[in-house]
Amino acid sequence: MTDPYEMQTALARKFDVEARPPLGGEKVGISKSVRDGLWPIHGLRHPPAADTSGWYIWAGEYSAAADFFVPLHVDHLSSWCSAAVPYLGLPPGWRFLLAPDHEDVWFDESLLD
C-alpha cells in the first residue's frame, strides 16, 4: 500500500479512531533534524488552524528554539521522513514515537487545549 491516504486511513483504523488525514496544501511543523536521519521520530497533533494540519514532527532531542520547527507542505513530508507519513491520519490529540523496530502511539488530551 503506497497511497498516503490509504496508509493513513488504515493506521487510524488500527487504533480505532476516525481518520483525519491532512488536507492537500496543509503544512506540518518539522525540525530540520528529521532530514538528518536522527532517531527517535516524535510527532504530535494539535487541532488544525488556518493552513496547518496541527502536526509537529521532530527527531532526536526537542528544542524550544524559535527556529526549531520549519513549515513543510504535507505533500513533501515523504522526502523528509517517509516513516511519519502513515501517522498523519491520526486525529488531533494523538502522538507517536518511532525508532528502529519500535512504535508507540497514544492519545494525549492536553494537545486539545
Structural domain boundaries, residue 98 = 4-112
**Is pLDDT above 90 for 20?**
yes
Largest CA distance in the chain: 37
Q: How many domains are contained in the chain?
A: 1
DSSP letters, 9-72, are HHHHHHTTS---PPPTT-EEEEEGGGTTT-S-EEEEEPPPBTTEEEEEEEESS----TTSEEEE
Strand, coil or helix: 91:
coil
pLDDT for res 2? 76
Question: What are the tens digits of pLDDT across the range 54-80?
Answer: 999 999 999 999 999 999 999 999 999
pTM of the model: 0.95
Cis peptide before 100 (omega within 30 of 0): no
How many Cβ atoms sit within 10 Å of the Cβ of residue 49? Answer: 8
